[in-house]
Amino acid sequence: MPATTSTDLAVQEPPKVHPDAAEIIRQIEFYLSDDNLPGDAHLLARTGPTGDGWVSINELFGFKKMRNYKPRTLAKQALLMSDKLIVNGKFIRRKDPLTVPLHVTPAINDDRVKSKLVIDKPWLTKGMLKPTGFEEGATEGPLKPEEYAAQRKLFDPEMDFTIRIEYAVTKYLSKRKMHQKTANIFIKFLLFGGFDGGQNMFTGGLDEKAMEEYDKDEIMQMKVCW
């Protein structure tokens, strides 16, 4: 009979289970249960009115009753044994929608809407959720008289058309925020239209010191022309 090695013994060891696994499962199931969730405005903002949306496991373990369960890794692994919950990486949800009506209105605000979007679409970052200028209904405010005068000067028909169109594109970009993929497509579109491209497109090679005495519209014009 071959000798038993330390490697064999390690393989035969049962997986570690948190000593308080049953309590951990019971508490998290309660948070997301029909008994608690319909009256929890905070959690409803995460799960949505049906109650079966994804919630951050880290957020749940930040609740007062969950903070003492250590080590955290084993505590989270315990949730995999629940027959009422579904775990997906860093997030968890109940298997079925709520079966009772809500008692409160979900406490939804802009930050929670963004957090929920990040949970539902994990490829997004919070930075990508900042206003971009492309939102439905997004508009620029009316021009002040001095701004109108500056615009008239910058778009003077006597000025070369190339300068005017490049300034228009520069101004358009200054009012909007593009994600990297969108920006790459936009730059390719400009190149296709005949713009000179490159990493420094529309930067003009200007340094901060050179721009101190000019206003933003003059700076944009110089970035086009220089």
Rounded to two decimals, the pTM is: 0.52
Strand, coil or helix: what is 161? helix
pLDDT of residue 5: 58
Contacts with 75 (C-beta within 8 Å, 6 or more apart), sequence order: 18, 20, 24, 61, 66, 69
pLDDT value of position 199: 43
Distance, in Å, from the CA atom of 85 to the CA atom of 82, rounded to the nearest integer, reads 6
Segment-wise mean pLDDT, segments of 10 residues, the chain, 226 residues: 55 80 97 96 90 91 94 94 94 94 83 62 62 69 81 82 81 77 82 64 52 57 47
Q: What is the pLDDT of residue 226?
A: 39
The kind and range of the H/E element at 187 are helix 180-192
Q: Which domains does the chain have, with CATH numbers?
A: 20-94 (1.10.10.10), 145-224 (no CATH)
